[in-house]
Structure 1
């Protein structure tokens, strides 16, 4: 059925009345818009009641009208992301490939800084001066375990100085030049280090045999060693300071006592050289001159009376020696 066949086919609206109603509606809407846009009313309030009422009425309608716009924007973003996923994936892959070298470099720097912090935190008792160096691997045979250090006499390093890392003893210096030194590891066949067992204070000799775990020989005392005992430098002979940690005792497959080195817990690329020469540098002269050890460092000088008595006694002994005995032939 067409519109003209319905009940409103005879309805006629005068054009003048239609125009008048449209003008009135437009005028009312304009007045409402003007009132709603007023920011300061006549009494000086910043938010008038008319505008507040208008906002309260319009806000729900605005939310309802804005919902399709939000839905349309979300659907557009979803479709755009779906169709541009390939290009986005390529862009992200390129970005990851660009950031991977920076990630590797950051990890390496983090590890180096951790090693530096551990090395700088080393303290000995009594304190011994140290020099930090970087080691380079050197191989001259299947049983030779030695490394080169990028520090020498310029940093005060001398032959015989012990070398440690943040875990324990690594070796000792056997050769040195102005800027390079050679370190012999404790696992080398030429390494011989006097040690002690921390639990029993038993003395022994740590002998390298080319393996990763040096041998513990010449242990003094029956039952002085058992598995798990800590091994330290004994300081015997004055070549190494006492108490530097080396490792723990373990029973080898051949039945001999061996030592698991603490230094194997970390890399031996950064080390510290203990500038130790003898035990004399660990003693303070001021402490030796204090009582009751004052007489041990220097002998007291004799006074004038004692010196005269000593001279007279020496003269009498010289005269008795020069006088010949009676009956002696000239």
Structure 2
């Protein structure tokens, strides 16, 4: 098979020169670019292509985003843990400081009240602190940090800012033992402040007090304030002791009078030891006999 004029077949025909085709393509691109900028006819095509290629973009960027987010998460987690540990330590420190300030404030309030009580009393007082309770299940006693070297003597009354809480029963060189009012073996001579009725206040052993040996018709009412009478020659008269909480006059010749202590018998830590108002006369010895008065001289005769 031959072609006329020895012309090459169509498959081997050469088109325009490469520079011409480049120029034509560049010109076409510029025309399309200018037309798109002017008429925006490719905007829909671009939006469609972006929607179609979006899943591919997300799939391609997923590993990078995962690594970046994971590193950011672990860095943030570590920072949060460090901050939490620092904040917890700070919170504990602030809580401890606040608790210490509250305790100091309460202690200062109690000391100011004790100072006011000491100023009202016209006797010598000694500030003391309760160290611990005596480990005895059958008594109510505490140990003070003041003893014989500080001037503490047996029988002195101990009170807080509200009232009497006990009495010194045993003295050591630098410590002393105080029997609290609630002890069942403790008794205090008292008087009802309103009516002047005198009696003896005993501890019940359960934190309460009872005024005994008063007749059923005694002038005592619930709410009456009870103070020391001073008849025992040891306690200063007029010290607040308790208030009457209940009076039972039915069924017996003696009234049953229950009282509540005014002072913090079971709770006080700072107390005052009250000195004696005045030294009483010495008690006679058991075997001492009173000598009879000398006989009168005989009268002379006139």
- Which category describes the TM-score, using the shorter chain as reference length? 0.5 to 0.7
Q: Which residue of 2 aligns with 1:203?
A: 198
Higher RCO by CA contacts (8 Å cutoff, separation 6 or greater): 2
For structure 1, list consecutive stretches of 5 or more residues without a partner in the other structure: 8-78, 281-313, 322-330
RMSD: 3.5
| Secondary structure at 1:95 match in 2 | helix
| Secondary structure at 1:114 match in 2 | helix
CA contact (8 A) 1:129 1:274 kept: yes
Change (3 A) 1:109 1:155: same
Q: Which residue of 2 aligns with 1:169?
A: 164
Deviation at 1:214, TM superposition (A): 1.5
| Structure-1-length-normalised TM-score | 0.56
Q: Structure 2: how far apart are the matches of 1:106 and 1:261?
A: 29
Change (3 A) 1:253 1:99: farther
* Aligned ranges 1:66-145 → 2 under 5 Å: 83=76, 85=80, 87-123=82-118, 127-139=122-134, 141-145=136-140
Q: Structure 1: how far apart are the matches of 2:120 and 2:85?
A: 59
Q: Which residue of 2 aligns with 1:32?
A: none
User: Is residue 232 of structure 2 the alignment partner of residue 237 of structure 1?
Assistant: yes
Q: Which residue of 2 aligns with 1:152?
A: 147
Q: Structure 2: how far apart are the matches of 1:215 and 1:148?
A: 24
For structure 2, list consecutive stretches of 5 or more residues without a partner in the other structure: 1-31, 39-71, 251-255, 281-295
Q: Structure 1: how far apart are the matches of 2:207 and 2:103?
A: 27
User: Is residue 273 of structure 2 the alignment partner of residue 273 of structure 1?
Assistant: yes
Q: Which residue of 1 aligns with 2:55?
A: none
Please identify runs of 4+ aligned residues in structure 1 that moved more than 4 A. 1-7, 82-87, 252-255, 317-321
* Aligned ranges 1:242-253 → 2 under 5 Å: 242-251=237-246
CA contact (8 A) 2:248 2:257 kept: no
Q: Which residue of 1 aligns with 2:173?
A: 178
CA contact (8 A) 2:118 2:125 kept: no
Deviation at 1:165, TM superposition (A): 0.6
CA contact (8 A) 2:149 2:174 kept: yes
Deviation at 1:198, TM superposition (A): 1.1
Q: Structure 2: how far apart are the matches of 1:211 and 1:150?
A: 25
Q: Whose Rg is larger?
A: 2
CA contact (8 A) 1:157 1:176 kept: yes
CA contact (8 A) 2:182 2:265 kept: no
**Bigger Cα displacement from structure 2, 167-176 vs 91-100:** 91-100
Change (3 A) 1:139 1:253: farther
Q: Structure 2: how far apart are the matches of 1:125 and 1:98?
A: 40
Change (3 A) 1:116 1:126: closer
CA contact (8 A) 1:241 1:279 kept: no
CA contact (8 A) 1:153 1:176 kept: yes
Change (3 A) 1:209 1:93: closer
Deviation by residue 1:44-91 (Cα, 9 ceiling, x = unmatched): xxxxxxxxxxxxxxxxxxxxxxxxxxxxxxxxxxx99x9555543343
Deviation by residue 1:111-157 (Cα, 9 ceiling, x = unmatched): 22222222122146551111111113334543311111110122211
Q: Structure 1: how far apart are the matches of 2:179 and 2:203?
A: 10
